[in-house]
């Protein structure tokens, strides 16, 4: 049966070893007037102590974005958003002291995520590592369309996530068809190993 092609980024589903999962996030900061949008479910990286958008194969992964809180530069009101967009803020100093953008990140390196693949991944690839495929997300719902790369899975260490298993969702569990969903965990992570470990 064909899988439902509807990417959603990285969705947290639990912890390695069935550990206690409270869905907690850690508060980080996005630099004022940062010029790249970040959407709920996007993986993010860290640079100079600040949250930056993830790249398709970067190794300094911090976690997964779960929204942000900031003072709206027009209304001057505290605002929550599923996504961060550069148009949400203004240049430093335009509001007294500049604008602080608080980012909430699933940063535990032992969090398990579900993600859709952009093609076909076989069950024999469980244990291998792979990278991300970035897409063009929408400001309508603020949700990511990032997927895992069906073409880069390998046993080499330098890949972002490790494939743990296939989803239990009956609408996306057909490994013989494109766009199945998979459980993954970090392989390259700033709190775990930025070089990653080899797959099996």
3-state DSSP of 144-198: CCCEECCCCCECCCCCCEEEEEECCCCCCCCCCCCCCEEEEEECCECCCECCCCC
Residues 13 and 187: their CA atoms lie apart, in Å, by 17
Tens of pLDDT, residue by residue over 112-145, are 999 999 999 999 999 999 999 999 998 899 999 9
DSSP annotation of 51: E
35-64 pLDDT tens trace = 899 999 999 999 999 999 999 999 999 999
Cα torsion 159, 165, 170, 173 to 10°: value is 50
Provide the whole-model pTM. 0.92
pLDDT tops 60 at residue 93:
no
* In the chain, where the domains are located: 11-18+109-186, 26-106
């Amino acid at each position: 049966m064909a899988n439902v092609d509807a990417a959603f980024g990285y969705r947290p589903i639990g912890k390695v070893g069935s550990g206690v999962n409270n869905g907690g996030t850690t508060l980080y900061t996005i630099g004022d007037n940062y010029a790249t949008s970040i959407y709920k479910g996007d993986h993010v990286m860290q640079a100079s102590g600040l949250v930056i958008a993830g790249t398709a194969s970067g190794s300094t992964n911090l976690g997964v974005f779960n929204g942000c809180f900031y003072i709206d530069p027009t209304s001057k009101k505290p605002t929550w958003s599923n996504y961060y967009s550069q148009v949400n803020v203004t240049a430093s100093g335009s509001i007294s002291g500049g604008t602080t953008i608080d980012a909430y990140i699933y940063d535990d390196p032992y969090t398990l995520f579900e993600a859709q693949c952009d093609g076909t991944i076989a069950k024999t690839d469980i244990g291998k590592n792979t990278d991300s495929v970035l897409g063009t997300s929408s400001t309508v719902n603020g949700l990511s369309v990032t997927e895992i790369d069906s073409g880069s899975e390998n046993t080499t260490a330098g890949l972002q996530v490790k494939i743990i298993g296939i989803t239990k969702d009956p609408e996306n569990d057909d490994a013989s068809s494109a766009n199945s969903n998979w459980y993954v965990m970090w392989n390259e992570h700033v709190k775990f190993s930025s070089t990653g470990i080899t797959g099996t």
